[in-house]
Amino acid sequence: MKLKKQVTVCGAAVFCVAVFSLYLMLDRVQHDPTRHQNGGNFPRSQISVLQNRIEQLEQLLEENHEIISHIKDSVLELTANAEGPPALLPYYTANGSWVVPPDPRPSFLSISPQDCQFALGGQHQKPELQMLTVSEELPFDNVDGGVWKQGFDISYSPHDWDAEALQVFVVPHSHNDPGWIKTFDKYYTEQTQHILNSMVSKLQEDPRRRFLWAEVSFFAKWWDNINAQKRAAVRRLVGNGQLEIATGGWVMPDEANSHYFALIDQLIEGHQWLEKNLGVTPRSGWAVDPFGHSPTMPYLLRRANLTSMLIQRVHYAIKKHFAATHSLEFMWRQTWDSDSSTDIFCHMMPFYSYDVPHTCGPDPKICCQFDFKRLPGGRINCPWKVPPRAVTEANVAERAALLLDQYRKKSRLFRSNVLLVPLGDDFRYDKPQEWDAQFFNYQRLFDFLNSQPDLHVQAQFGTLSDYFDALYKRTGVEPGARPPGFPVLSGDFFSYADREDHYWTGYYTSRPFYKSLDRVLEAHLRGAEILYSLAVAHARRSGLASQYPLSNFALLTEARRTLGLFQHHDAITGTAKEAVVADYGVRLLRSLVSLKQVIIHAAHYLVLADKETYHFDPEAPFLQMDDTRLSHDSLPERTVIHLESSPRYVVLFNPLDQERLSMVSLLVSSPRVRVLSEDGQPLAVQISARWSSATDMVPDVYQVSVPVRLPALGLGVLQLQLGLDGHHALPSSVRVYLHGRQLSVSRHEAFPLRIVDSGTGDFALSNRYMQVWFSGLTGLLKSIRRVDEEQEQRVDMEFLVYGTRTSKDKSGAYLFLPDGEAQPYVPKDPPVLRVTEGPFFSEVVAYYEHVHQVVRLYNLPGVEGLSLDMASLVDIRDYVNKELALRIHTDIDSQATFFTDLNGFQVQPRRYLKKLPLQANFYPMPVMAYIQDTQSRLTLHTAQALGVSSLRDGQLEVILDRRLMQDDNRGLGQGLKDNKRTCNRFRLLLERRTPSREVPGGPSTSYPSLLSHLTSMYLSAPELALPVARRRLPGPGLRSFHPLASSLPCDFHLLNLRALQAQVRTTPPCTCRPGTWPLLTHLLPVPVLPHLWAEGPPPPHPCLSVIQDDSLPSAETALILHRKGFDCGLEAKNLGFNCTTSQGQVALGSLFRGLDVGFLQPTSLTLLYPLASPSNSTDIYLEPMEIATFRLRLS
């Protein structure tokens, strides 16, 4: 009662303040003694006064928003501190439906008006190249271009370079896939280590030689196996510019399926490794093999302080268009950027491939003659039947003239007279003979060309950054700045076709089992990082660090590298050999198990009320895992909690940075179960049977579902015990539709069950927000009606099957080449339907031969209840050259436009283009896709990356799995025949749009609503339920953990709280300048900064050496925050959750409960560059869409 009074008083205060503020606004605007009637003509002074009044009104609105936000925090604090949780005790109504009483806690939606302006777009100048417009305008006609088959004839005059010589940089490189045809380890053993060993010796033979490397995963493995002498040589080669590490990521990642958390994490892992071991900071990006390119990558590279980048795999028609318009080099800008702060200079390679025949110029027949690995007698030759010839004094003039002609033609496609010519291919330079053949022959050609002044050419070996530096110098700008006349581009480069109608859109879905496992590992890594960092900080604060397993840091490092490895463009893509996929799977599972251990250890420490009682025992963990997997290719099996009369405890971890009200489902050994809160209050629960098939219950295993409110990034505690509580334990009722099939159905006295032998009438499920109709025949969704609307919205689902062509070219791991439009899925038998209804959730399960479709409706306020939870358990292991798709039909007038996310970071508008084949209209969907009209938006959220399209107005279509029996001639040499039983998880969200929210000038950008962002996070980061292994534990021993003192604004996402590696100092004899690292004496001296050390700054020494302990964390962590862009144009009434925005401001100093931020320094994305001096101020500001990294110490 006391709580209700407090809430009522505060609610009244909110109302009074709001009304009084509005009164003041109106009073100030109306009260103007100088105002007079003038017949509608406003003097300039009056307009000025009016402008001032408008500004005052805006300011008052903001002040009112802040006042309400403060009152909201106070109310929430009062309700949060009230004893006992709100008891949501459902009751059954006369019309046969369950009602859950309203949550007594108030909910707030307080959005700053200024925060809504971002999604409306600014008035900034549009870029010259908007990729959506380019694709709409291009004919995609594929005219034969002659020797450059996908291009055109190039002409030039020999005098074109009289005023300014052509400067040519030939860049030797070797593209090493960390797994594809061979496993990562096998590639390393058989090829990569030989490439890198030869690199050290061969580059030292001539200081004019250069080499480019990209994959740090391979480099790190090699580094661990070489001696100190060779390491020193490598550092010298890096220091004098002969060896460049480009991009510096753990891998060269796929840009279609990878989530931005994983993209950032592998970039940090690579950059931190390079800084630690080589003292190098990458300057240029190199992406020659990802199958299409996302604008997320240039954003991340720019925020990591890279200034330039290169891409290769772009649709051949776009390359031709860009070549013809001299647009192959451009400033790549993000669509929301109004001040060019995201610009990065990008070079697009113009021709078919990154191999030698397609890099020196437009004629591969000639360029192949300058790939000296193909000299006669070798294992590979030129397909054009004209072999290379060794360069001699006798033929050097003729060979140089032939090569220079290609260089000149290629240079005519660019705006500057600086030319980039890559020289390499996959796993090149693995034998000393190739190093000699390439370097000796090219050096002879360079020497000749450079000795002929009348040719006006200067040719040399170079690195990628050598090329960009020369270009900037020639164009007269600073590195990374926009050269005069170069275009600005925004948008992406999906979908990719390398020839004809061969679109690489199949890999958006290929091997979805591992795409799903990737995201499970990612969610666990983020959760483990955050809990570990918090546990270590609290243990250090309490003086118990020596008792805590700090060495779990090594498990985090391994998991980071496993997740990073799987972002490789032949891993998450599903385009590797079967044995390689299995190797990835074993690595993913091993790291997943390790991360569960890290989470268990951290949760154990943090949930103890008395930290002094903490004892780490790796042989007998305090907590059990939430689930287990028997093998890398099996689905998880949830842990069953065996009940006794004494309580069993369960610790619940919420990895979201917002408080969540979620339905937690646990498996228990008896339907006679009582569930209590942390302080012993009984909770209402829904008891359900556990089913092993459409008609069979699992014996002695039951599901108990309980709504639980969990603190942001925190831990909650439940008690379970054997016992009957008819008032709080509410059973589910079940109907099974057999459709005439003679099947026996399991029964249990605890659960009412009704069998419907026949009948096809539609039926509905409902909650407080919506009524959802299903087909009685198919069990699939038909329509949704919001409770505040009369009209139903058609949301009709069906399964479809694509075949592949009968011609030579067929679908494979990379390519989607369907034999026409999809055909309806026709099951052998009608589906068995099982409808479960209960107080907290109801669901429909449709059992088809190849897919089990589950649609669940939660009867809860907030995010859980506002969308439909869906899962498709797919098994197509008996398919032959077929792909299974799920299509949603609606009445939304989408006008051939749909929207897909890029890497979970941003949303890209798409247009269905009739001029392109069906397969060209599919795009990657890592997180969501939506269609909309002026009234509605329907969003399909996904927990795993899949391919998506909208082939007709009002439709969304997703490919669930593909089984293909043949290779598609892109080098893999296998089809897709290793399919697994795969569970694809989704959330379907229907939102009402408010009128007049269209951005003038067409949809170049779009943003999800805040509700959509939260729905996506609920799906991607489910709560973890960790049973306490020790059954007898006194209740007061466990206490919920609330790590945040105040909630983050709901447009902020705490992307990571990443533990950094400790550095331990020693002082051996050596000779170096004081305050520098002796390891780096050949480079520019790197100051030893105090914040690099685990135990404070080192004492003064004449020389310092750094020993890294890979298993221990530093006293500092990396905090990575993302402020999301969102659309206020979606209705936000009665959402049932708390949400406040703050115009991008966050007070980090008061964010963590019980911990002070003793040190805060903004850095570049990957922590290599400090952006400001360490400061005592902990208030930060972020623009919408920005990601920011901070180095901080929690104390």
Per DSSP, helices labelled H in 572-676 are 578-607
For residue 812, with 0-12 CB atoms within 10 Å meaning exposed, 13-18 middle and 19 or more buried, which class applies? buried
Stated as kind and residue range, the H or E segment containing 835 is strand 832-837
Q: Among residues 946, 949, 939, which one has the least CA distance to residue 925?
A: 946
- Is 16 exposed, middle or buried (CB count within 10 Å of its CB: 0-12, 13-18, 19+)? exposed
Point out the catalytic residue in the list 103, 115, 177, 289: 289
- Catalytic residue at 289? yes
Indicate the SS3 state at residue 352.
Answer: coil
- Report the alpha-carbon distance of residue 640 to residue 669 in Å, rounded: 7
Nearest C-alpha neighbor of 302 from the set 272, 346, 258: 346
| Rounded CA separation 486/340 (Å) | 14
Provide φ and ψ at 1102, rounded to 5°.
Answer: -70, -20
* Residue 732 to residue 752: CA distance in whole angstroms: 7
Q: Are 984 and 960 in contact (CB under 8 A)?
A: yes
Q: Per the structure block, which two tokens stand in for 357?
A: 């025949």
CA distance 737 to 755: 6
Residue 879 is encoded by which pair of tokens? 């398919």
Amino acid type, 204: Q
Run of H or E residues at 11: helix 2-30
Q: Which residues contact 749 (CB under 8 A, 6 or more apart)?
A: none
Q: How far apart are CA 1092 and CA 1167, in angstroms?
A: 11
Calculate the alpha carbon distances from 1149 to 285, 1049, 1160 in Å: 35, 15, 9
Amino acid in position 307: T
φ, ψ at 813 (rounded to 5°): -60, -40
User: Cis peptide leading into 495, omega within 30 of 0?
Assistant: yes
Q: Say how many Å lie between the first and final Cα of the chain, rounded.
A: 39
Nearest residue to 816 via CA among 165, 96, 291, 205: 291
Q: How many CA atoms lie within 13 A of 880 on its CB side?
A: 1
Q: Which residue type does 110 have?
A: S
Largest separation between any pair of C-alpha atoms in the chain? 102
Contact of 296 with 906, CB cutoff 8 Å: yes
Question: Do 988 and 870 contact (CB within 8 A), yes or no?
Answer: yes
345 phi and psi angles, rounded to 5 deg: -75, 130
Nearest to 912 by CA among 315, 129, 136: 136
**Two structure tokens written together for 665:** 């489902």
In three-state form (DSSP H/G/I as H, E/B as E, the rest C), the secondary structure along 929-980 is EEEECCCEEEEEEECCCEEEECCCCCEEEEEEEEEECCCCCCCCCCCECCCC
- Segment (H or E) for 649: strand 648-653
- 3-state secondary structure at position 67: helix
Exposure of 1085 in the CB half-sphere (CA atoms within 13 A): 12
Q: Strands (DSSP E) along 102-232, which ranges? A: 109-110, 129-130, 166-175, 211-213
Rounded Cα distance between 711 and 659, Å, is 5
Catalytic residues: 289
